[in-house]
Chains A and B, each alone.
Chain A
Amino acid sequence: MTSPTLSRRRTVAERHRPQAILAGLAILAILMALAELLLGPVTISGDRLLAVLLGGGEPLDAGILWQIRLPRLTLGIAVGVALALSGTALQGVLRNPLADPGLIGVTAGASLGAVSVIVLGGLFATELPGFLQPFLLPLSAFLGGSLVIACVFTLSRRSGETSMATLILIGVAINTIAGAIIGVLVYVSDDQALRDLTFWNMGGLGHASWPVVTVALAATLACVPTFWRHAHGLDLFQLGERQAFHAGLDVERCKRRMALSAAVSVGAVTAAAGPIGFIGLVAPHLARLLVGHGHRWVLPTAALLGVSLVLGADLAVRLAIPPQEPPIGIATSLLGGPFFLWLLTRRHRRQDA
């Protein structure tokens, strides 16, 4: 038997555990962000960084930071937050731990939208006023992504609950279809579009300019409050749709909002950074291992983890063979692929038991 004071002390520690973990992860994310700014082919020391951020510093440092590293960092933050929160929300709504924007085809849909603009945009983009140009890519990526989410939600609607197999098969089908159409678009694209497309399709934080990055971050940040407000709803979804309704959740509205937010944020960051896989799978799962299953804690934890993972992957590919820069997707897939396999085998074992 534990004494009452001991058990009380333990429960107090338990209660403050999520806060402590969040604080730790925030520090980790900040360290990653600093490393992202300081490290690279040209190493910049802390005091030089401070000088530049205060408006002074050497012109070379200022150029590197303002033109290369800061947009990169900003995009990394947007990508991490958007993919992690969308993954958490999709997994919550579909009651399925494997619902990752990449695996179920949302990223592919967004890619298709973006590629369409890259290849066919030349036909009409020049007609549009200048200030709309940075929105064109994210907008069509959003349309592609939301089309896929609508498909997935409709196809998986049958019994109000999706089996793992159905969801993965839907993802395979959608990824195949999107891949085929992208292939057709590649075939008809001209040289310039092909160059853009190849760089974009490798995925990475380094190819985007300030306007594109700003749109990605703004779209993501606009979705964050919606995800956050539905934390309780995502908890209730774990009861199944009917029980969630009985417990007071407007199931259809919650679903619509989560789908829309996921489509907007995934579309925006995919348009800017290209397809980046597995962050939406790995971040929520690590978050649940750390803080349990209540979405009030899972959402912020996953967002911070997503930022750290994306920045970590970016640092890894940048520092591996400088000044070469392999696509960031290599790093996220090397981390996420085995993780995905581990999840599958773990679930299999549980079902066998």
Chain B
Amino acid sequence: MLEASGLHLVVDDRPLLDDVSLQLAPGEFVAVLGPNGAGKSTLMHCLSGAQRPTGFLRMDGLVPSSLAPGQLAIRRAVLEQTPSIGAPFRVAELIRLGIPRELAPHRADTLVDRAMQRLDLRSLAERQVPSLSGGERLRTHMARVLAQLWAGQALGGGRYLLIDEPTASLDLRHQMTVLKAARQACREGVSVLAILHDPTLAASVADRLLLLKDGRILDEGPAHRVLTHRRLSELYDMPISVRDLGDTLAVTPDYAACLSPDDRPRRAAGRQAAAHR
């Protein structure tokens, strides 16, 4: 169980988190939505133990930032936003970096193999990471984080998966590959917290959504209750339309209202021309 209540974090006189509370139960998938600079990544860093907020924060009853980094790494795995690597490691080597050395080498090999398979990286195993495309690189880092999570499970932890924009720069198929891997972890009892930018995607994949704006929680709950026209328009400061497609929601900006009026005739003319063709 990951519990937080009344988290505050002030950096350089700027309040980054303001009275944030949340609970992450085993097997639960929570998505965090919010505009740029809302404090999403900061919240994740607090939960992961990289930053020390004031307020109540417990991971399995312990304060994350008080644990040794090695201990934390066994309990939780974190995918940073736009992860990078300084040296041209190969894909398999990079994935292996995530596995603590406490795990026997042959078990580590198995985990690396499984992570590559799960994220569709088998054919790239021997390629150097800098030579990959942006999306392939992100998948490689996601595989590293999954391998760390599984290694943690083998060592008696591996309960939390915190992923920051895991679908950025991925094509549609591989967005699903990554989120399926996260959901699979959920089914095995892992709590997942994912920062996402696509409300439609978040609605279909997450059990619960957390709307964050200016360091405060705007709303929290299941998709169909939280993702309303009013809430989302408030969250992003722009008109947003929500359509109910039965089993899922489709969220798009209200393009017609957003684009400036003098743009509209030209676009309409373009549409007409396309219709004639």
Q: Which residue among A239, A242, A288, A294 has the maximum number of chain B CB atoms within 10 Å of its CB?
A: A239
Given contact pairs A95-B86, A242-B50, A246-B78, A235 touches B97 in the complex (Cβ within 8 A): yes
The docked-state distance in angstroms from the alpha carbon of A239 to that of B69 is: 15
- A53 CA to B78 CA, complexed, in Å: 58
A322 to B45, CA, bound (A): 64
Is A236 part of the contact surface with B, judged by Cβ < 8 Å? Answer: yes
Interface residues of A in 244-263 (CB under 8 A from B): 245-251
Cα distance A238–B68 in the bound complex, in angstroms = 20
Known interface pairs A232-B101, A293-B89; A243-B72 also in contact (CB < 8 Å): no
Chain A contact residue count (CB 8 A cutoff): 21
In the complex, chain A residues whose CB is within 8 Å of the CB of B72: 248
Other-chain contact of B69, A95, A245, A293 (Cβ < 8 Å)? A245
Chain B nearest CB, measured from A189 CB (Å): 43
Decide: B74 and A248 in contact? CB cutoff 8 A: yes
Evaluate whether A246 and B73 lie within 8 angstroms (CB atoms) in the complex, with A232-B101, A293-B93 already known.
yes
Chain A residues, Cβ within 8 Å of B101: 232
Q: Do B88 and A239 touch (CB < 8 A)?
A: no
Q: How many A-B residue pairs have CB under 8 A?
A: 63
Cα–Cα distance between A236 and B87 once the two chains are bound (Å)? 10
Q: Does B165 contact A (CB under 8 A)?
A: no
Q: Is the CB of B86 within 8 A of A243?
A: no
A22 to B100, CA, bound (A): 26
Q: Are A247 and B98 in contact (CB under 8 A)?
A: yes
CA distance A254 to B148 in the complex (A): 20
Contact in complex: A247, B85 (CB < 8 Å): no
Contact assessment for B85 and A238 in the assembled complex, using a CB-CB cutoff below 8 Å: yes
Q: How far is the CB of B122 from chain A (nearest CB, A)?
A: 13
A292 to B91, CA, bound (A): 13
The yes or no answer to B167 lying at the interface (CB within 8 A) is: no
Q: Is B48 close to A, CB under 8 A?
A: yes
Q: Is there an interface contact between A238 and B89, defined as CB atoms closer than 8 Å?
A: yes
1/0 contact string of A210-237 vs chain B (CB within 8 Å): 0000000000000000000000100111
Bound together, the chains give a CA A239 to CA B144 distance in angstroms of 11
Which of chain A's residues have a CB closer than 8 A to the CB of B84? 239-240, 243
Shortest CB–CB separation between residue A218 and chain B, in angstroms?
29
B83 contacts chain A at the CB level, 8 A cutoff: yes
A-B CB contact pairs (8 Å), 26 listed: A95-B86, A235-B89, A237-B86, A238-B85, A238-B86, A238-B97, A239-B83, A239-B85, A239-B86, A239-B97, A240-B80, A240-B83, A242-B45, A242-B50, A243-B80, A246-B50, A246-B80, A247-B148, A248-B148, A249-B69, A250-B68, A250-B70, A251-B69, A293-B88, A294-B89, A294-B93
- What is B's interface to A at a CB cutoff of 8 Å? 45, 48, 50, 68-70, 72-74, 77-78, 80, 83-90, 93, 97-98, 100-101, 144, 148
Closest 10 CB pairs of A and B: A248-B73, A246-B78, A95-B86, A238-B86, A293-B87, A238-B87, A248-B70, A250-B69, A243-B80, A248-B69
